[in-house]
Amino acid sequence: MDSAAPSSADTVAPRRSEADLWARKLLFLDPDAPKVSIFAAQSAFQKSIAVSATRCLITYIFLPLLRPVIDLSGGVGPALGLTVGAVSMIAIIVAMRRFFAADHKWRWHYSGIGGAIFVLLTVQAVVDMRALLG
């Protein structure tokens, strides 16, 4: 018998709550898939935090400091905000997908925080769009 072959315990999907199944469906994850590596979830989380930190530095530190030096009122600020915000939103979704794919114990905690940040980014995107169009 080949010891490298996966055992039946490795390929059986774990039991998941209705909330987990709903979240997996919302994130386009196979509800019957087995767990993936926890390291992938942690790596995605670290990248998501790095992207969010970069966005915050650009939005709240660099743009206000550079505004008097370089006139950013001509649409560069909102366009940059939309771009960096979109990257942040994608990073949040990727991290959520990895957390749920790994059935990570902190998946719901991250979803709450990531979801709140996602809502704030959406509001900021509306403000930026109004600034560009108005």
Is 30 among the domain residues?
A: no
Is 31 among the domain residues?
A: no
Q: What is the pLDDT of residues 11-51, one digit of tens each?
A: 566 788 999 999 999 999 998 888 888 888 888 888 888 88
Is 8 among the domain residues?
A: no
Provide the domain limits for residue 46: 36-133
Average pLDDT value for residue range 103-117: 94
Contact 132, 78 (CB under 8 A): yes
Q: What is the pLDDT of residue 8?
A: 46
Is 44 among the domain residues?
A: yes
Q: What is the pLDDT of residue 2?
A: 47
Angle of helix 107-133 relative to helix 76-101, nearest 10 degrees, comes to: 160
- Backbone conformation region of residue 30, classed left if phi is above 0, alpha if psi is from -120 to 50, else beta: beta
0.95 exceeded by pTM:
no
Is 22 among the domain residues?
A: no
Q: What is the pLDDT of residue 66?
A: 77
**Structural domain count of the chain:** 1
Is 104 among the domain residues?
A: yes
Is 96 among the domain residues?
A: yes
Burial class (CB in 10 A: 0-12, 13-18, 19+), 78: buried
Q: What is the pLDDT of residues 65-94, one digit of tens each?
A: 877 776 655 667 788 889 989 999 999 999
Is 1 among the domain residues?
A: no
Q: What is the pLDDT of residue 70?
A: 66
In the chain, % of residues over pLDDT 90: 43
Contact 40, 109 (CB under 8 A): no
Q: What is the mean pLDDT of the chain?
A: 84
